[in-house]
Structure 1
Amino acid sequence: MEKQLKDLSALTNYQNRQVILNYYQDEDLLYQRDGFHFSSIQLTETALTFIKSDGIAITIELKTYPHSYINTAFQNYYTLKNNQNVLEIYFP
């Protein structure tokens, strides 16, 4: 089950841990998977940025995924969507 989120500010509470990013095309075709450790998450009006301990930043433009959800069946599991694509964000 998914519940729509009004904002992604809850993600900024995650620090010093691992994240898995699964990118889907047409909601079913997994075309990219990234997993990495990060130090912190920064959220602005336009982007969600994972800051790694070496200073490298991984940025997700929020205009690309205007709809955000939390998965109520799994802990630490978020979904960003647009009309065709999905980005799953999971904190194991």
Structure 2
Amino acid sequence: MSYCGFEAFKVLAKNYLDVVESELFDEIKRLLEVEEIKMTPADVGENLLPKSEGEEGETCLRRLIEALKEEKEEAKRRVEEEVKQKKEEEEEGEES
């Protein structure tokens, strides 16, 4: 499955929220273009779904922005952990 790009996000925003433009789109576009952020269209759609009756589109867009930021931080942690593990393995190899 491919990851969600900005054009796919716009289709989801229209379908889920009936929103075709928002001042929040620029930040969402910027986050979706970050290479480390890997969010599927299904994950984006889940974040766009209103969680309660009457919840506004802007609230859902803000929730998506927070989820994208969390994914970015999680990706950063994964990379740091991989670097740490690789370093430990190299040190163990040198001791042998």
**TM-score normalized by structure 1?**
0.30
Structure with the bigger percentage of strand: 1
- Larger Rg: 1 or 2? 2
**TM-score normalized by structure 2?**
0.29
Structure with the bigger percentage of helix: 2
